[in-house]
Amino acid sequence: MKLGFLGGSFDPVHHGHLLAAQDVMEGLGLDKVIFVPSAQSPLKENEPGLGAEHRLELLALALEGVARFEVSAMEIERGGVSYTVETARRLRELYPEDELYWIIGADQAAKLSQWCRIEEIARLLSFALVGRPGSRSPDSDLRIAGLRMHCIEGHACDISSSELRARVRSGRSLHFFTPARVVARIVEKGWYRKNEAVLSLLDE
């Protein structure tokens, strides 16, 4: 099979994540895309706004009813800082005969040289680069031995999780930025907000 893997904090998941997965699935003819939420990214200074359990819950709601999208908690179960090389090793053990693609955006591609043991990752799996509005594609010669990069033209959906968290804090709606089930759960639990007044504003 041809399997894609999309890592990240997903704090919270939004339509940009979902469209990127769909674009790569169609562009490369993947059989499945598996979302892999991190315990803690090594390239981000701050901890995720929500704990692992809640981020997993929101992902499950977002992907409900989509047969070819799944969630894996392997990085969260491993705990600590989530290094992609450790995940890539495990994926190769789980899927020894399959074609594996790690999905990234152009902003991540530009930082690949900073990834821990990037040359080992490149030997274990391929990369699927999905274009993102406002981002420049990295130079073709990233000078990473064995790197296999497949470029996919993505839809223009310039949304970030940090923007969604900021919208909640300021009492603005999350509708149309993330699936309705995700919005409803965030409102129900009062996640990301700073005070009670925000709750009614989000639900308008």
The pLDDT tens digits of the residues spanning 35-44 come to 999 998 776 6
Q: Which of 171, 11, 137, 31 is nearest to 21 (CA)?
A: 31
pLDDT band of 204, cuts 50, 70, 90: very low
pLDDT tens for 122-181 read: 999 999 999 865 555 555 456 788 899 999 988 878 899 999 999 999 999 999 999 999
Residue with tokens 């674009």: 23
Taking the whole predicted model, whether its pTM rises above 0.85 is answered as yes
Return the domain boundaries, the chain: 2-158
The secondary element (H helix, E strand) that includes residue 106 is: helix 106-109
Q: What's the mean per-residue pLDDT of the chain?
A: 88
Instruction: CATH number for 2-158: choose from 2.60.120.10, 3.40.50.620, 3.30.9.10, 1.20.58.100.
Output: 3.40.50.620
Residue-level pLDDT at 42: 73
Read off the tokens for 58.
Answer: 């929101």
Specify the pLDDT at position 47: 53
